[in-house]
Amino acid sequence: MLSALLADFRIIFERDPAARNWLEVLFCYPGLQALLLHRICHGLYTLGIPFIPRLISQFSRFLTGIEIHPGATIGRGVFIDHGMGVVIGETAIIGDYSLIYQGVTLGGTGKECGKRHPTLGENVVVGAGAKVLGNLLIGNNVRIGAGSVVLRDVPSDCTVVGVPGRIIYRAGVRVDPLEHGNLPDSEATVIRTLVDRIEALEQQLQELQQQMHQPASIPSLVYAGSSTFDIPEVPATISQSCDIRDKAIQEFLDGSGI
């Protein structure tokens, strides 16, 4: 347990530029304090001691705002940054050197017994406010975007964004765990693609309308009774093409950084 606590202590200096000295980290970082108390109550929990582990975890929750069930298994070098509102369930497993931000929930679904909380691999980053629900397997080096809701397993070396979470493969791309702005926006990509497609179809429609209204000889038709009449010319009323860029959606596209 001592080696795990030392790893928890060192990782703060590696991942938080605001960490300036050991005294400040020891007394002013609730994530470190919550892990310290959790490792104590987890040891008591594994020994089968009743009540006391839960009491310690409740004291830790009151002190730090981080709720970790004594049964949760947490690896070495885990950093809970800020941590207010973090909830980690009884059967959750967190791999070494994972990074968890405030408001994260590693929760269960339903009332089933046994393993009902997620398992996180090594070097996983869970953004602020993200929810990982159920007995899921999150692979190594996965990055979960802030506010995402993950409801299915995620392979290693992927990024998850959105509600519900959508998996985006990024194997072979090494990304710093603190670069939260470097997340793909799959919704924006799809919308941009649809806009491009609509504009291409409107251009084709304009070209077809122009071809229809070019001057051409109009044949006469003869019906019974030897009466003839000319086919009336279609009115040359070409509707103005709708340029999406002139509408409110352009503001959305600009705001999404597309």
Over residues 60-83, the mean pLDDT reads: 93
Between 177 and 154, residue with greater pLDDT: 154
Average pLDDT in the chain: 81
Give me the pLDDT at residue 181, please: 58
Between 175 and 110, residue with greater pLDDT: 110
Between 97 and 19, residue with greater pLDDT: 97
Give me the pLDDT at residue 212, please: 84
Between 180 and 231, residue with greater pLDDT: 180
CATH of domain 2-169: 2.160.10.10
Give the residue extent of every domain in the chain. Answer: 2-169, 186-255
Q: What is the pLDDT of residues 157-214, one digit of tens each?
A: 888 888 888 887 665 555 556 665 566 666 666 677 778 878 888 888 888 888 888 7
Q: pTM of the predicted model, to two decimals?
A: 0.70
Give me the pLDDT at residue 144, please: 92
DSSP character string of the chain: -HHHHHHHHHHHHHH-TT---HHHHHHH-HHHHHHHHHHHHHHHHHTT--SHHHHHHHHHHHHHS-EE-TT-EE-TT-EE-S-TT-EE-TT-EE-TT-EE-TT-EEE--TT--S--S-EE-TT-EE-TT-EEESS-EE-TT-EE-TT-EE-S-B-SSEEEETTTTEEEE-TT----TT-TT----HHHHHHHHHHHHHHHHHHHHHHHHHHHTS-----EEE-TTS-EEEPPPPP--PPPP--GGGSHHHHHHHHTT-
CA 105/CA 88 separation, integer angstroms? 6
Q: Residue 119 pLDDT more than 90?
A: yes
Give me the pLDDT at residue 239, please: 45
Percentage of residues of the chain with pLDDT beyond 90: 41
